[in-house]
């Protein structure tokens, strides 16, 4: 039989944002429920070496970090639920989420931490070499390619920004684009053209990522989109930068979004356009997309959720006394 679970703070998503919100919410006595979703722990569970999360002198593993975050959240009183949300009702006064097995989760506040997924090319070798030379985040992994030959695939703002960022670590950065002009903003293109560490391969399509004898990335198989010629381009690291897709399908028509599907929040806060509903992490952040920024936003969401309930309860109490 389907079960109804009630809480003062319902959290959808269990990456750094969701678990940080849970830790703060639990310590505030809100007895949060975290519904973990299809990828418990978020994108860090498919990330190997993590070197930029504060507090750890040595390189740590992404899955281990998320296990520790979850254990901490549970230790202070969070309930973890293994379920996937298929529908939400934000009409209030409480917010209700329905799982794919029929269970319902009812929260006085709702914190959305469903994240975003990097878009991939879908070519052979891409997933097999993920973490072994192929990445979708230069800010996360560029440090591991200091002094090495790297490529960035894409032609928009993200690709140009990642190529420029990688020049902090490498003097040999190549941007590979399937067309003969970039889609990025003019100012970014000017910076790219002015940087001697970056070159551009125009009209090239990536067909395959090729591994060397050591199991790491060796080269990319490319096709010239004009001539049809096939070439191999050697590289130590390849960064796919063709955008991200926020996991917001559940909230279409229910919460305000930008034209790319990211949830809109009041600047500097996790507040959505529905009172009592908050968003944190990559689901509303198309700029930074880091574990530490997601965790900070999760903290903000929990603190604002607590204040929202306190103000609501005070208003109800005042109304009762006056009545």
- Per the annotation, the verdict on 113 as an active-site residue is no
- Taking alpha carbons only, the member of 35, 25, 14 closest to residue 306 is 25
pLDDT higher than threshold 70 for residue 223: yes
Least confident of 138-142, 149-153, 316-320: 316-320
Higher pLDDT, 249 or 44: 249
CA distance 173 to 163: 7
Residue 320 has a CB neighbour count (10 Å cut-off) of: 8
The per-residue pLDDT for range 24-49, each reduced to its tens digit, is 999 999 999 999 987 777 778 766 67
pLDDT for 137 equals: 87
- Per the annotation, the verdict on 299 as an active-site residue is no
Catalytic residue among 103, 137, 207, 224, which? 137
The per-residue pLDDT for range 45-102, each reduced to its tens digit, is 766 678 889 999 998 988 899 999 999 999 999 999 999 999 999 998 999 999 998 9
CA distance 41 to 69: 9
The per-residue pLDDT for range 93-124, each reduced to its tens digit, is 999 999 998 999 999 999 999 998 888 999 99
- Taking alpha carbons only, the member of 124, 146, 140, 128 closest to residue 236 is 146
Contact between residue 216 and residue 48 where contact means Cβ atoms under 8 Å apart: no
pLDDT higher than threshold 90 for residue 23: yes
Catalytic residue among 83, 108, 113, 141, which? 141
pLDDT for 323 equals: 63
Catalytic residue among 140, 236, 282, 285, which? 140
- pTM of the full structure: 0.79
- Per the annotation, the verdict on 141 as an active-site residue is yes
pLDDT for 210 equals: 98
pLDDT for 48 equals: 67
pLDDT for 92 equals: 84
- Taking alpha carbons only, the member of 84, 108, 75, 65 closest to residue 13 is 84
What letter would DSSP give residue 78?
Answer: P
Q: To the nearest whole number, what is the mean pLDDT of the chain?
A: 93
């Amino acid at each position: 039989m389907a079960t109804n679970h009630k809480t003062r703070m319902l959290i959808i998503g269990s990456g750094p944002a969701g678990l940080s919100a849970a830790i703060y919410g639990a310590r505030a006595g809100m007895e949060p429920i975290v519904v973990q979703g299809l990828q418990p722990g978020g994108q860090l569970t498919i990330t190997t070496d993590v070197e930029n999360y504060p507090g750890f002198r040595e390189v740590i593993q992404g899955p281990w970090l998320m296990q520790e975050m979850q254990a901490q959240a549970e230790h202070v009183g969070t309930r973890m639920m293994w379920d996937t949300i298929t529908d939400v009702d934000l009409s209030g006064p409480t917010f209700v989420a329905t799982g794919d097995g029929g269970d319902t989760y009812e929260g006085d506040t709702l914190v959305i931490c469903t994240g975003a997924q990097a878009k991939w090319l879908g070519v052979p070798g891409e997933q097999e070499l993920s973490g072994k030379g192929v990445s979708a985040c230069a800010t996360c992994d560029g440090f591991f390619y200091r002094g090495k030959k790297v490529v960035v695939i894409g032609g928009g703002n993200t690709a140009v920004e990642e190529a420029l960022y990688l020049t902090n670590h490498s003097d040999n950065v190549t941007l590979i684009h399937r067309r003969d002009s970039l889609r990025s903003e003019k100012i970014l293109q000017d910076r790219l053209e002015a940087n001697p560490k970056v070159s551009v391969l125009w009209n090239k399509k990536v067909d395959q990522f090729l591994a060397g004898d050591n199991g790491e990335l060796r080269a990319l198989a490319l096709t010239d989109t004009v001539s049809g010629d096939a070439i191999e381009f050697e590289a130590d690291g390849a960064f796919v930068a063709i955008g991200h897709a926020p996991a917001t399908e559940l909230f279409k028509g229910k919460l305000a979004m930008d034209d790319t599907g990211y949830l809109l929040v009041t600047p500097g806060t996790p507040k959505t356009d529905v009172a009592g509903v908050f968003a944190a992490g990559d689901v509303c952040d198309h700029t930074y997309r880091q574990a530490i920024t997601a965790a900070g936003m999760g903290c903000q969401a929990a603190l604002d959720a607590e204040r929202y309930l306190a103000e609501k309860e005070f208003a109800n109490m005042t109304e009762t006394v006056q009545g």
